Amino acid sequence: MNVISSTADAKRPGAARIGIGGPVGSGKTALIEALIPVFKARGIEIAVVTNDLVTKEDARRLQAGGLIDPDRVLAVEAGACPHTVIREDPTLNIAAADDLEAAFPDLDLVVIESGGDNLASTFSLDLVDWWMFVIDVAQGDDIPRKRGPGILQSDLLVINKLDLAPHVFVDADAILAEARQIRGTAQVIGCRCKGATVEGIETIADTIAREVLFHEIPA
Amino acid sequence: MTDLRSQLRMLQCCDSAFPSGAFAFSSGLETLVNEGRVKSATDLHQLLDGQVIPRWLDFDRPFLRQAFASAQDPDALYQIDTRCHLQNTVERLARASRRIGRSLLTVHARIATPGAKAYQDHLRANAPPEATGYEPIVQGMLGAGLGLDLSQAEVGALNTVVTGVTSAAVRLGKLGALDAQAVLAAAANAMVAGLSCPAPEYPGAFAPLVEIAAQRRTAEQISLFAN
Ligand SMILES: Nc1nc2c(ncn2[C@@H]2O[C@H](COP(=O)(O)OP(=O)(O)OP(=O)(O)O)[C@@H](O)[C@H]2O)c(=O)[nH]1
Ligand SMILES: [Mg+2]
């Protein structure tokens, strides 16, 4: 006789798992690259799983970047289905996260980067405890308005490349305000991951530390 | 008369929506497509009939049957698993088989399929992950645990392989989703014919086209699939 076991694996020991989804080129890998030194400074031990759509490019970029021990980065091929590997069938990503935890028992956080997908992608809660969706201003100021599960259901919506707003005729404050209005109480953070200065990265790290690692950081 | 419950469990567990990671593997097809050796529905049908189905019948099937018969005995399963490892000469296909087998174990342990947790614990305690957890061993053990008869377990496992390669072909753009169903309908002949023959006593594989293709992919090759 089969029994129904609890699907939420709340008591799973080990590192917290977070997902980063969002359309192609919105800056998911750049955000991870910007977050790594911030986590390092705070003593938070991380590892990364990438789900490149076509190559192992993102994994290689992180491994070669010198920011993180290359052994802490694993690539999982998505079989041309970036959403399947994070939602309908996350088993390969679960196995990769398990392998990283086994190899690095002191991990606090496993970050799983989805292959670039469309606005409908969401993460299975079998795979991650919390996930964020990254879009950027240059994809059009109507993106939040188009809603879609990624925009609406993510625990955090990140709007990246604020520096580009003036070049693509977007009002950064307006797009952030509209996103906040659409998401109600769910968080929205604007950021810039590249260039002479970065912006919003500490705030994103604070949110992850507070909501995922349960560190006491004032909101 | 077939028991309705086992029939339902077979449909559930052999559904392409059942999480096993199988969608990320093409079993060499991606290389054959990239090299222009598989270009159409006809080519795919020939590949299934000439390589994929015979390889499963000759190699995976006897292992599945042995595991089905020893489903209650984790140590016996482990011995069969180890033989499967030793006989697997194509590392890329072997790796896929292990990753799928281990995913199946994880999911079935979670949904409390009889035997799954016991075998998973046995492997964790005793076995190196890169040498055990092969798909046919896990499928045979699970088939018994789910209350399937041997023939259902075999049909389900072979169907999973054939639909997996066919769906990879659709994602590689070599045939449409409707053509794919025509190929599957036609491939049923070879599947039925093969399953109607007695299984070989000793496993052995000879499907050089897919085996060499699976090994031939290079690190630089742009790839959607893990093999
Ligand atoms: N101007 C500007 N460019 C950025 C910013 N963040 C990322 N980029 C650039 O945007 C491009 C895409 O960044 P990635 O980090 O590769 O994006 P991604 O979302 O990981 O892409 P995929 O994984 O391919 O979906 C790169 O050329 C980055 O340099 C930013 O804040 N401002
Ligand atoms: Mg990326």
Query: Averaged over A42-60, what is the pLDDT?
Result: 87
Taking a C-beta distance cutoff of 8 angstroms, is the pair B52, B161 a contact?
yes
Which-ligand-closest: CA of A49? 2
Query: pLDDT tens for residues B82-124?
Result: 999 999 999 989 999 999 999 999 999 999 999 999 999 999 8
Query: Averaged over B127-151, what is the pLDDT?
Result: 94
Phi and psi at residue B62, in whole multiples of 5°? -60, -35
Indicate the pairing of strand A130-136 with strand A156-160: parallel
Residue B221: pLDDT above 70? no
Q: What is the DSSP string of A115-180?
A: PS--TT----TTT-SEEEEEEEGGG-TTTGGG--HHHHHSSEEEEE-GGGGGGGT--HHHHHHHHH
Residue B185: pLDDT above 80? yes
Ligand 1 center–CA A62 separation, angstroms: 13
Residue A18 in tokens: 């977070």
Tell me, what's the pLDDT at A12? 61
Ligand 2 center–CA A121 separation, angstroms: 15
Q: How confident is the model at residue A218 (pLDDT cuts 50, 70, 90)?
A: confident
Q: Which chain B residue has the Cα nearest residue A124?
A: B19
Q: How confident is the model at residue A68 (pLDDT cuts 50, 70, 90)?
A: very high
% pLDDT > 70, chain A: 93
ipTM: 0.83
Query: If you take atom 27 of ligand 1, which residue's CA is the nearest one?
Result: A25
Domain spans in chain B, listed from the N-terminal domain onward = 27-214
Q: How far apart are CA B123 and CA B75, in angstroms?
A: 9
Query: Averaged over B171-191, what is the pLDDT?
Result: 95
Query: pLDDT tens for residues B157-169?
Result: 999 999 999 999 9
Query: Averaged over A103-110, what is the pLDDT?
Result: 96
% pLDDT > 70, chain B: 97
Which residues are within 8 A (CB) of A57 and not within 5 positions of it... i.e. 6 or more apart? none
Residue B2: pLDDT above 80? no
Looking at B88-149, list the stretches that DSSP marks H as alpha helix, in order from N- to C-terminal side: 91-110, 116-126, 135-145
Q: How far apart are CA A160 and CA A146, in angstroms?
A: 17
Nearest Cβ partner of A92 from B17, B21, B224? B21
Q: How far apart are CA A94 and CA A12, in angstroms?
A: 12
Tell me, what's the pLDDT at A3? 47
Tell me, what's the pLDDT at B1? 47
Q: How far apart are CA A94 and CA A126, in angstroms?
A: 8
Structural domain count of chain A: 1
Residue B61 in tokens: 């099937």
* Torsion angle (degrees, nearest 10) of CA B54, B56, B57, B58: 80
Residue B154: pLDDT above 80? yes
Residue B8 in tokens: 């339902």
Tell me, what's the pLDDT at B220? 57
Taking a C-beta distance cutoff of 8 angstroms, is the pair A143, A119 a contact?
yes
Tell me the average pLDDT of chain B. Answer: 93
Helix (H) or strand (E) holding B10: helix B4-14
Query: pLDDT tens for residues A121-161?
Result: 899 999 999 999 999 999 988 888 888 899 999 999 999 99
Residues in chain B, overall count: 227
Q: How confident is the model at residue A6 (pLDDT cuts 50, 70, 90)?
A: very low
Residue A4: pLDDT above 50? no
Taking a C-beta distance cutoff of 8 angstroms, is the pair A96, A47 a contact?
no
**Ligand 1 pocket test target in A33, A67, A194 with most atoms within 8 Å of CB:** A194
For tokens 């054939």, the residue is B162
Taking a C-beta distance cutoff of 8 angstroms, is the pair A31, A119 a contact?
no
Q: Do B21 and A95 touch (CB under 8 A)?
A: yes
pTM of the model: 0.88
Q: How confident is the model at residue B222 (pLDDT cuts 50, 70, 90)?
A: low
Query: Averaged over B198-209, what is the pLDDT?
Result: 92
Tell me, what's the pLDDT at A141? 82
- CATH code of the domain in which A121 resides: 3.40.50.300
Give the mutation candidate from B33, B224, B225, B227 for the A interface (greatest A CB count, under 10 A). Answer: B224
Ligand 2 center–CA A181 separation, angstroms: 28
Taking a C-beta distance cutoff of 8 angstroms, is the pair A50, A75 a contact?
yes
Do the domain assignments include residue A3? no
Residue B74: pLDDT above 90? yes
Query: Averaged over A26-41, what is the pLDDT?
Result: 96
Query: Averaged over A77-95, what is the pLDDT?
Result: 89
Residue A5: pLDDT above 70? no
Ligand 1 pocket residue status of A172, Cβ below 6 Å: no
Q: Is the CATH code 1.10.150.20 the one for domain B27-214?
A: no
Which structural domain, as residue segments, surrounds residue A66?
16-211
Tell me, what's the pLDDT at A77? 83
